Amino acid sequence: MNVLVVGGAGYIGSHAVKLLAEVGHTVVVVDNLSRGHREAVPTTIPFYEMPLADTEGLKRVLKRYRIECVMHFAALAYVGESVERPLAYYDNNVAQTVSLLRAMEAAGVDKMVFSSTCATYGEPKVVPIVEETPQEPINPYGRSKLFVEKILADYATSRPAFSYAALRYFNVAGAARDGSLGEDHDPETHLIPSLLLTALGKRPQFVVFGTDYPTPDGTCIRDYIHVEDLCRAHIMVMEALQAGSRLIYNLGIGRGYSVKEVLHSVERVTGRKIPVVYGPRRPGDPAILYADATKIRRELNWTPEYTEIDAIVETAWQWFKDHPDGYRRKS
């Protein structure tokens, strides 16, 4: 298929571009490079530096390449920042998605695979989280993604030819197996990269956010899914879309690891002792989040290849060791 990846220069989008090209799809990338990296997209792939607000520009790209499906990864994705700058989140994540949908409508493109998030569930009372778990986000980031899910549903009702998938990611982690791509955020706040940057000596210490949660070791539990498993699911979902489909899936491995378990994994994989400080809770962190990911397994036969945290950390470690300063400067 001819696929437009918007946000294709970002962490997850760039892995999707790589995989799509590897399995024989024709890929075009649009990214405004506000958070992404030009270096993450091969020069052989058509690349447009363009804001999603540019409806006319998007329409031209969609038509020029006879795009059949859009994978939409372009979003701001920091919970804390979304609390401080809600309008930026609603503009970037919601309003600009409407612009993208308008361009798709004008160009007659009727398939979208949308990056949603488990943050749309907020703090669920019951885990594991199933797709029917009530969506009650607790911050503007989660709400911006939920609004887009609702917009997609309404738009699909108005346009029977349209089909979409909303994939609710849990904690995406790891890097391309061949070492060519990885995570390069500024600031980097995620658990595994923070631990690895500490292992490399680029940070003096690692702070565990809270040790008094109602979990076996007192630290938060999350579901870490390898970025390549996640991207493979996108392709399976895209290939399953037919006029009128509305596919909603959780994407996790269905198993939780605590912050301390991930810390120990990083120490095992790197062979380095991490200087740790035990700090207070980070506001807004639910104690336990992990997916019931059986729906996508059952319906599309997707299974994650990476189910052990050490294997996921291994790929991330390979990337950070080789690229301690991200894409800009290779060691």
Contacts with ligand UDP by CB under 6 A lie at 171, 189-191, 194, 207-209, 220, 222, 259, 282, 285
Work out how close the CB of 135 gets to ligand UDP at its nearest, in angstroms, rounded to a whole number: 16
What tokens does 122 get? 């907020």
CB of 9 to ligand UDP, least distance (A): 21
For residues 224 and 302, which CB has a smaller minimum distance to ligand UDP in the complex?
Answer: 224
| Nearer to ligand UDP (CB atom), residue 136 or residue 285 | 285
Give me the numbers of helices (H) and strands (E) for the chain, helices first please: 11, 13
CA end-to-end distance (rounded Å), the chain: 37
Closest residue to ligand UDP in the complex (CB): 220
The CB density around residue 230, as the number of other CB atoms within 10 Å, is 25
- CB of 120 vs ligand UDP, minimal distance in Å: 12
Q: At what angle do helices 309-322 and 259-270 cross, to 10 degrees?
A: 60
Peptide linkage before 187 cis (omega within 30 of 0): yes
CA distances from 302 to 60, 116, 298 (A): 34, 18, 8
Residues 45, 17: contact at Cβ < 8 Å?
yes
Cβ distance 120 to 145 under 8 Å?
yes
The number of residues making up the chain comes to: 331
Nearer to ligand UDP, 3 or 166 (CB): 166
Distance CA 46, CA 33 (A): 15
Of 141, 169, 224, 257, which residue is the catalytic one?
141
CB 237 within 8 A of CB 249: yes
Given the complex with ligand UDP, which of 181 and 220 has the nearer CB atom? 220
Distance CA 217, CA 194 (A): 20
Dist CA 47 CA 257 (whole Å): 37
Antiparallel, parallel or unpaired: β 221-222 and 257-258:
antiparallel
* Closer residue to ligand UDP in complex, CB, 191/225: 191
Q: Minimum distance from CB of 206 to ligand UDP (Å)? A: 6
CB 304 within 8 A of CB 253: yes
CB of 222 to ligand UDP, least distance (A): 5
Task: Give the nearer residue to ligand UDP in terms of CB position, either 28 or 289.
Answer: 289
Nearest approach, Cβ of residue 63 and ligand UDP (Å): 37
Closer CB to ligand UDP, 92 or 117, in the complex: 117
Q: Which two tokens stand for residue 31?
A: 């990214």
The pair of structure tokens assigned to 58 is 């998007």
Residues 6+ apart with CB under 8 A from 241: 69, 111, 113, 163, 164, 165, 247
Smallest gap from Cβ 195 to ligand UDP, in A, equals: 8
> Cβ(206)–Cβ(198) under 8 Å?
yes
Instruction: Mark whether 141 is an active-site residue.
Output: yes
Supply the residues annotated as catalytic.
Answer: 141
